[in-house]
Amino acid sequence: MKKIPLDIVGLSYSQTQSGAYALLLNESKGKRRLPIIIGGFEAQAIAIEMENMKPSRPLTHDLFKNFAETFEIKLKEVIIYNLVEGIFYAKLICARDNNEVEIDARTSDAIALAVRFNCPVYTYEFILNSAGIIMDDDLTKESNSTKETKVEKTIEKQEDDFRKKTAEELKDLLQKALDKEDYERASRIRDEINARRKS
């Protein structure tokens, strides 16, 4: 399957999810963008590195990089390889002594590491077809607010419509998200459960 290179465009605060951010990835040789909802901690980790800020003590992703470099492990690339029920799946392609290993990772963590190792990020056509949006950079054709609305609508489309789920289905989804250590999704499900309890 052909890999499509992506560039990191930036981060924006999500209007749909409290405390969450939208990470925007751009198709390197095209106009499609891939918006991915990530948590605040991961957004901070990506932003700090992109802005060349140096924290006084190493963050978790910095520690991982220091650990890898100490043991001569190179992060060659990050691949966003699947999209299931609004969840993006990523893997790290690592190399040491001519041995290559794939490591499963949350997409937000994978991108935080990609910016630190300065390695390429890829995805596949079926993911861009499913979740990508076309962004025209010509401001005369489309305003910034319209672009932001497009991104938000796409993010909403990616997420399950939790309002249509029963309380029992939400509990099952919450447990599955926790089992997969997908804490961002778990927090969105928990918010829906709490909102129902208050009403």
Rounded distance between C-alpha atoms, residue 85 and residue 141, angstroms: 32
- CA dihedral 20→84→95→76, nearest 10 degrees, is -60
Q: Are residues 16 and 106 in the same domain?
A: yes
Question: What six digits make up the tokens of 168?
Answer: 């029992």
Question: What six digits make up the tokens of 191?
Answer: 């918010």
Q: Are residues 47 and 91 in the same domain?
A: yes
Rounded distance between C-alpha atoms, residue 101 and residue 91, angstroms: 10
Structural domain of residue 176, as residue ranges?
160-198
Q: Can you give the pTM of this predicted structure?
A: 0.71
pLDDT digit string, tens, across residues 17-76? 667 888 999 999 888 999 998 988 888 899 889 888 888 888 899 999 999 999 999 999
Tell me what pLDDT residue 13 has. Answer: 79
Asked, for residue 40, whether it belongs to a domain, the answer is yes
Q: Are residues 7 and 78 in the same domain?
A: yes
List Cβ neighbours of 183 (8 Å cut-off, separation of 6 or more): 39, 177
**CATH number reported for the structural domain that contains residue 103 in this entry:** 3.10.690.10
Q: Are residues 187 and 89 in the same domain?
A: no
Tell me what pLDDT residue 68 has. Answer: 96
For the four alpha carbons of 59, 65, 66 and 67, in that order, the dihedral sign comes to: positive
Q: Which of 100, 118, 134 is the last residue of a domain?
A: 134
Whether the Cβ atoms of residue 79 and residue 122 lie closer than 8 Å to each other: yes
Rounded distance between C-alpha atoms, residue 188 and residue 18, angstroms: 9
Tell me what pLDDT residue 57 has. Answer: 87
Count of beta carbons in the 10 Å neighbourhood of residue 16: 14
pLDDT digit string, tens, across residues 138-192? 443 444 444 455 555 555 554 546 777 888 888 888 888 777 666 667 777 877 7
Whether the Cβ atoms of residue 154 and residue 131 lie closer than 8 Å to each other: yes
Tell me what pLDDT residue 143 has. Answer: 46
Residue that is written with structure tokens 């492990």 in the block: 73
Tell me what pLDDT residue 17 has. Answer: 66
Asked, for residue 145, whether it belongs to a domain, the answer is no
Q: What is the mean pLDDT of residues 94-108?
A: 95
Q: Are residues 172 and 75 in the same domain?
A: no
Q: Are residues 86 and 166 in the same domain?
A: no
Asked, for residue 152, whether it belongs to a domain, the answer is no
Asked, for residue 142, whether it belongs to a domain, the answer is no
Q: Are residues 71 and 122 in the same domain?
A: yes
pLDDT digit string, tens, across residues 73-88? 999 999 999 998 888 9
Q: Are residues 116 and 169 in the same domain?
A: no
Q: Are residues 107 and 169 in the same domain?
A: no
Q: Are residues 23 and 63 in the same domain?
A: yes
| Neighbour order of strands in the sheet with 3-13 | 99-106, 87-96, 74-84, 121-124, 3-13, 20-27, 32-39, 133-134
The phi and psi torsions of 159 (rounded to 5 degrees) equal -80, 150
pLDDT digit string, tens, across residues 111-122? 999 999 999 999
Tell me what pLDDT residue 184 has. Answer: 63
Q: Are residues 69 and 124 in the same domain?
A: yes
Asked, for residue 151, whether it belongs to a domain, the answer is no
Count how many domains the chain has. 2
Q: Are residues 39 and 112 in the same domain?
A: yes
